[in-house]
Amino acid sequence: MPQLHLRSEESSRPTDVSRAISRAPGKIILAGEHFVVLGAPAVAMAINLYSEVKVTPKNSPGVDVDADIPLRFLAGKNRNSGVSDPRQLLRPLQLAAEATLKQVVAKDRGLRVNVECEIPVAAGLGSSASTTVAIISAVARSRGIELSRKKIFKLAFIPENFLHGKPSGVDQAACIYGGLIRFNRPSNVRTVRLEKEPAIVVCDTGIHHATGTLVGGVVRKSRREKKDFRDYIAKVRDISNGVVNALREGDDVELGVLMYQNHDLLRKIGVSHPKLDHLVEVARRAGGLGAKLTGAGGGGCMIVLCRSTRDRDRMSRVLRREGGTPYKVSMDATGVESQSA
Ligand code: MEV
Looking at the chain, the domain(s) classified CATH 3.30.230.10 span: 3-192+332-340
Quickly state the pLDDT bin for 5 (edges 50, 70, 90): very low
Percent above pLDDT 90 for the chain: 76
Pick 299 or 18 by higher pLDDT. Answer: 299
Where helices occur in the chain by DSSP H, the ranges are 90-103, 127-142, 149-164, 170-177, 211-224, 226-249, 252-268, 274-285, 311-321
Q: Catalytic one among 16, 85, 108, 171?
A: 171
- Superfamily name and number for 200-329: GHMP kinase, C-terminal domain (3.30.70.890)
Residue 222 Cβ inside 6 Å of ligand 1? The answer reads no
Determine the pLDDT at residue 109.
72
Contact yes or no for 147/14 (Cβ under 8 A): no
Active site residue 204: no
Assign 9 a pLDDT band (cuts: 50, 70, 90). Answer: very low
Residue 11: the pLDDT is 40
Ligand 1 contact, 37 CB (< 6 A): yes
pLDDT beyond 60 at 82: no
- Asked if 168 and 113 touch (Cβ cutoff 8 Å), the reply is no
pLDDT of residue 60: 84
pLDDT band at residue 77 using 50, 70 and 90 as cut-offs: very low
Top pLDDT among 163 and 286 is at: 286
Are 287 and 166 a contacting pair, CB within 8 Å? Answer: no
Atom 1 (ligand 1) nearest CA:
295
Mean pLDDT over 17-43 rounds to 96
Answer yes or no: are the C-beta atoms of 58 and 77 closer than 8 Å: no
> What pLDDT, on a 0 to 100 scale, did the predictor assign at position 17?
58
Q: From the CB of 295, is ligand 1 less than 6 Å away? A: yes
Strands, sheet with 200-204, edge to edge from the N-terminal-most edge strand: 290-294, 301-305, 200-204, 325-329
Per the DSSP assignment, residues forming a β-bridge with 45 are 28, 180
Q: What is the CATH number of domain 3-192+332-340?
A: 3.30.230.10
* Weakest mean pLDDT among 18-32, 67-81, 90-104: 67-81
Q: What are residue 328's phi and psi, to 5 degrees? A: -85, 105
Q: How confident is the model at residue 71 (pLDDT cuts 50, 70, 90)?
A: low
Q: What is the rounded CA–CA span in Å between residue 299 and residue 274? A: 8
Q: At 208, is the pLDDT very low, low, confident or very high (cuts 50, 70, 90)? A: confident
Q: pTM of the predicted model, to two decimals?
A: 0.91
Ligand 1: centre distance to CA 339 (Å): 29
Determine the 3-state secondary structure of 261 from DSSP.
helix
Ligand 1 within 6 A of CB of 33: yes
Distance, in Å, from the CA atom of 264 to the CA atom of 240, rounded to the nearest integer, reads 14
Res. 14: pLDDT tops 70: no
- Residue 279 near residue 302 (C-beta atoms within 8 A): yes
Cα–ligand 1 centroid distance for 135 (angstroms): 20
Average pLDDT, integer, range 239-264: 98
CA 50/CA 48 separation, integer angstroms = 6
User: For 255-293, how does the pLDDT look when each residue is reduced to its tens digit (9 = 90+)?
Assistant: 999 999 999 999 999 999 999 999 999 999 999 999 999
Range of lowest pLDDT (11-15, 123-127, 213-217, 248-252): 11-15
Cite the residue boundaries of each domain of the chain with CATH code 3.30.70.890.
Answer: 200-329
Give the pLDDT of residue 92. Answer: 87
| Mean pLDDT over the full length of the chain | 89
